[in-house]
Structure 1
């Protein structure tokens, strides 16, 4: 499918326009969505919220492609509640701002009158979106946020869950299951782990949740201090890390801050043997921006072309989805591609399972009870660490020089998910 979205507009112009107006309906982008004989009850509207512009825009690289893929897969409609239904998708840009996320979610609820809302990418998106949905009784599923940051950041009560809002991703235990096996394979002189954790929802979840797990595994977190996002000088943190003689490193900053930190760390002589980073270096755009300093940085990989999962909408494999994205956009696959796709798989499945897909309470109940094998693997919202949370299990990957693209991810450790094949050896980030 070409990069043209509507009316000859290219993707970049489309995003600028979408950001300016606060959202856009992609209904009809891949053919007519509401036929002449369709009534309003035949059309199910899904609102989608993500950071298409701003500091977190890397998460949304594949958004428009995914929306078009979903529309194409459902072009003939599907049966829900005993009748044929069609999907309309309304996209909103948070501009990487939590307040904006709240505002556009309200627009979807009050103006666009959507039946269900999905959202993606960091607690700055998932939490305000979910809060608005919970308050207004709108079925909701979000992804790409550590479950603790989503749950605790929203005041979740032990064992109860929320009525309308659900999440699929993973949390601190899964990060530990992914990172610790890689640490254990490194020959290091001590078990200190330098930790760059800012003062935000994501990092505070790591500080509170991952620290004790690190200690339990025999490692000592060296916390560089709770700095504010947007920092430009990391000299103090680097000095702390060097003094500890830590040869292992982990972090959860916003992407621009990591780029600044990692360059300064190299300049100031902090070169850990292995860096296992979270929230950053998830996407090719970040790898390209960092250049040679990208080599052998390790991170959590929750979706890739190597994952043996398929679409519930049209049977497409993970590799096919990644290849189609590259062919359509000329760009490399990103992890968010699979996750965003699954948001719509889950939404459609909840509509199909409901006796009345327009009944918000019933659809929300179907989300909370969802068990689905989909593009993101086997998701079970009934057995998670809290009600309404489905866990994924990431594997360890490292950035290496690519063939078709400048950088590519190689799966180097599958301790946490044996479904995913290993594609190469674990190497030191800095030999």
Structure 2
């Protein structure tokens, strides 16, 4: 999925535990207690707007939620004084639910938010295992909803969206296959290679098949020849056959959409067996610092897609905080390195609060849902336009190319090396061969 491309069920729930991304150091209790200050305001219930937040805070997918506790506190602080919506002063109450990295649990906790907690709007993040069941419940129950960090194709087509019509209550911001092409192809073009063969490690799962069927034809149209290593099963331990095929093709470019543990295995075997592509542009893997640390020295100059980073020139619509400030504050408070999810989760709340502000009656679910579908704003995730498509209610982000390099404060950091798809993001260094 990218992390960016995170369709798939059990595979998705198993891969992060294998790379050490265990449960985030937070749970529903700590976040709910942190919200307590927003409850006893003395205001009538109509003055309090309830936002439900659903994400995988524990279990194998918890790596995506490491910033959740921090973000909720940031939003609470920014909104401490309340805001005006529908002609009166409002406060927000954030009710957090943990999917435990299980799509069935995601359905269950979303129902709790709707039926027991009586929320006014629900936001959710991180992989179709979360976004799709959450959105389905919101659509069925008429609850305004926005989600992120799931490829739009997996979210839209995976929920049987009607082209040109979309959904009434549910919206998404992220990106899809075209944006991967826009991100990776310019980096390929800058490499001095002897042929246009691209070694492609695509397993037989939801994500990789989307790349095989979507990105593959785009590659051919652009003059590249995908050398498909074959639709192997996740959890493979021997990639000798794929490596031999890639070497025989003479491919000097490489792309992939495996689960992270499989990439770690493949990449080490490729080095041992002499397949050292000039440039590796990977999707779904190498999105977290933990993965870079796990791979060690072989991480150097692996490129992937970045939809948010401290280098992105974006600001909060709530308090003006910059992306760099948000990342710095996160590191100062938690001692942890930023992740791309930090900016995405923050923007979920920016969008929700903006929809409340724009509605004549923020308690009118149909009106708030309409405001989400018609939303255009500049926020921590950049310029988002939910009216522009590819389908109604979807706002597209444009990731840029970054490479992992030895860090100063942390073991590995990201350098933006190609901003062809998004010139607003400054380039921080030269594109280097992954293997010189």
Q: TM-score if structure 2 supplies the norm length? A: 0.90
Secondary structure of the structure 2 residue equivalent to 1:399: strand
Equivalent pair of 2:22/2:58 in contact (CA under 8 Å): no
CA distance in 1, matches of 2:405, 2:333: 24
**Per-residue CA shift, 1:219-271, capped at 9, x if unaligned?**
11122233343444433333332332222111222333322332232233322
**Per-residue CA shift, 1:105-153, capped at 9, x if unaligned?**
2222223222211111222221222122112211111111111121111
Query: What's the counterpart of residue 327 of structure 1?
Result: 332
Query: What's the counterpart of residue 8 of structure 1?
Result: none
Secondary structure of the structure 2 residue equivalent to 1:275: strand
CA distance in 1, matches of 2:224, 2:311: 31
Match among 221, 227, 230 for residue 232 of structure 2: 227
Q: For the structure 1 residues 52 and 194, does the alpha-carbon distance in structure 2 shift closer, same or farther, using more than 3 Å as the test?
A: farther
Equivalent pair of 2:164/2:392 in contact (CA under 8 Å): yes
Query: What's the counterpart of residue 274 of structure 1?
Result: 279
Query: What's the counterpart of residue 337 of structure 1?
Result: 342
Query: What's the counterpart of residue 146 of structure 1?
Result: 151
CA distance in 2, matches of 1:164, 1:300: 29
Query: What's the counterpart of residue 5 of structure 1?
Result: none
**Per-residue CA shift, 1:133-184, capped at 9, x if unaligned?**
1122111111111111211111111101111111111111111111000001
Secondary structure of the structure 2 residue equivalent to 1:142: strand
Alignment map for 1:41-80 (pairs within 5 Å):
41-80=46-85
Equivalent pair of 1:146/1:202 in contact (CA under 8 Å): no
Match among 182, 207, 213 for residue 202 of structure 1: 207
Secondary structure of the structure 2 residue equivalent to 1:87: strand
CA distance in 2, matches of 1:225, 1:108: 43
Structure 1 position 304, deviation (Å): 1.0
**Per-residue CA shift, 1:6-42, capped at 9, x if unaligned?**
xxxxxx9995773xxxx44735526710234122222
Query: What's the counterpart of residue 161 of structure 1?
Result: 166
Equivalent pair of 1:123/1:201 in contact (CA under 8 Å): no
Structure 1 position 292, deviation (Å): 0.8
1:406 matched to 2:411: yes
User: Structure 1: where are the runs of 5+ without partners?
Assistant: 1-11
Alignment map for 1:127-146 (pairs within 5 Å):
127-146=132-151
Match among 82, 92, 101 for residue 97 of structure 2: 92
Match among 112, 131, 155 for residue 107 of structure 1: 112
Q: Which moved more, 1:321-330 or 1:122-131?
A: 122-131
Match among 266, 277, 282 for residue 261 of structure 1: 266
CA distance in 2, matches of 1:245, 1:380: 42
Match among 294, 299, 306 for residue 301 of structure 1: 306
Structure 1 position 328, deviation (Å): 0.5
Q: For the structure 1 residues 51 and 147, does the alpha-carbon distance in structure 2 shift closer, same or farther, using more than 3 Å as the test?
A: same
Secondary structure of the structure 2 residue equivalent to 1:210: helix
Match among 104, 122, 128 for residue 123 of structure 1: 128
Q: For the structure 1 residues 228 and 132, does the alpha-carbon distance in structure 2 shift closer, same or farther, using more than 3 Å as the test?
A: farther
CA distance in 2, matches of 1:129, 1:269: 45
Q: For the structure 1 residues 203 and 54, does the alpha-carbon distance in structure 2 shift closer, same or farther, using more than 3 Å as the test?
A: farther
Structure 1 position 56, deviation (Å): 2.8
Equivalent pair of 2:280/2:303 in contact (CA under 8 Å): yes
**Per-residue CA shift, 1:78-115, capped at 9, x if unaligned?**
11122221111122222333223222222222232222
Match among 61, 68, 82 for residue 87 of structure 2: 82
**Per-residue CA shift, 1:33-52, capped at 9, x if unaligned?**
02341222222221212222
Q: Which moved more, 1:189-198 or 1:378-387?
A: 189-198
Secondary structure of the structure 2 residue equivalent to 1:92: strand
Equivalent pair of 1:123/1:150 in contact (CA under 8 Å): yes
Equivalent pair of 1:196/1:225 in contact (CA under 8 Å): yes
User: Structure 2: where are the runs of 5+ without partners?
Assistant: 1-20
Match among 369, 375, 378 for residue 373 of structure 1: 378
CA distance in 1, matches of 2:155, 2:337: 29
Report the RMSD for the aligned CA atoms in angstroms.
2.0
Q: For the structure 1 residues 103 and 232, does the alpha-carbon distance in structure 2 shift closer, same or farther, using more than 3 Å as the test?
A: farther
CA distance in 2, matches of 1:16, 1:332: 14
Secondary structure of the structure 1 residue equivalent to 2:285: coil
CA distance in 1, matches of 2:365, 2:238: 48
Q: For the structure 1 residues 312 and 17, does the alpha-carbon distance in structure 2 shift closer, same or farther, using more than 3 Å as the test?
A: closer
CA distance in 2, matches of 1:44, 1:399: 41
The number of residues matched between the two structures is 416
CA distance in 2, matches of 1:428, 1:149: 32
CA distance in 2, matches of 1:105, 1:430: 46
